[in-house]
């Protein structure tokens, strides 16, 4: 594993800073103070707008809403709307479709729900909306010097 690089101010103090190796594009974290305007990608979709505003409001309430999160939130809102649309289609027409040959096959809407669920789970895990995500749970350390049945 590589050693982490020294901060710029440390290199300047040591006299080892090289201008030719300096990175010009430093990370700029812009915290938002309100819910941003709904992006054009989801403007006409009521379910997507509702999800977008819900996520933004939730993150804003925790002071975690950043400008760089808006595209990711927009994609999640898009997938939420596709999930709701596919679920409604499955409820109305069933999970299988009869082909011209007479065979029944799984509906394409079923695949859309699976993809949407996968993306939404990853999104909710990343932004803390799924509290039971395995990476967010820290199990207690097992006592090494005792009876396992105590």
Q: Which band of pLDDT confidence, cut at 50, 70 and 90, is reported for residue 96?
A: confident
Q: Work out the average pLDDT over 66-93.
A: 94
Distance separating alpha carbons of residues 58 and 65, to the nearest angstrom? 8
Q: Which band of pLDDT confidence, cut at 50, 70 and 90, is reported for residue 118?
A: very high
Distance separating alpha carbons of residues 17 and 8, to the nearest angstrom? 7
Residue 69 has pLDDT above 50, yes or no: yes
Distance separating alpha carbons of residues 106 and 77, to the nearest angstrom? 25
What is the reported pTM? 0.68
> ∠ CA 9-15-18 to the nearest 5 degrees?
80
Q: Which band of pLDDT confidence, cut at 50, 70 and 90, is reported for residue 146?
A: low
> Which of the residue ranges 44-48, 120-124, 143-147 would you say has the lowest mean pLDDT?
143-147
Which of 20-24, 30-34, 98-102, 112-116 has the highest mean predicted lDDT (pLDDT)? Answer: 112-116
Chain-centroid distance of CA 105 in Å reads 32
Both tokens assigned to 114:
């699976």
First CA to last CA across the chain, in angstroms? 40
Where in the chain are the domains? 29-134
What is the average pLDDT score of the chain?
A: 83
pLDDT of residue 34: 92
Give 104's strand partners. 98
Residue 5 has pLDDT above 90, yes or no: no
Q: Which band of pLDDT confidence, cut at 50, 70 and 90, is reported for residue 137?
A: very low
Helices 108-126/70-93 angle, 10° precision:
150
């Amino acid at each position: 594993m590589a050693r982490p690089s020294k901060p710029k101010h440390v290199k300047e103090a040591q006299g080892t800073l090289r201008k030719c190796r300096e990175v010009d594009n430093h990370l700029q974290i812009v915290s938002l103070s309100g819910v941003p305007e709904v992006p054009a990608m989801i403007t006409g979709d009521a379910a997507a707008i509702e999800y977008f505003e819900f996520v933004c409001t939730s993150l804003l309430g925790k002071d975690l809403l950043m400008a760089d999160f808006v595209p990711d939130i927009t994609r999640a809102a898009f997938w939420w709307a596709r999930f709701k649309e596919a679920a409604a289609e499955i409820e109305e027409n069933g999970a299988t479709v009869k082909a011209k040959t007479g065979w029944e096959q799984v509906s394409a809407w079923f695949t859309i729900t699976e993809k949407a669920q996968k993306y939404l789970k990853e999104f909710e895990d990343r932004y803390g909306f799924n509290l039971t995500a395995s990476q967010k749970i820290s199990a207690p350390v097992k006592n090494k010097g005792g009876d396992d049945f105590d």
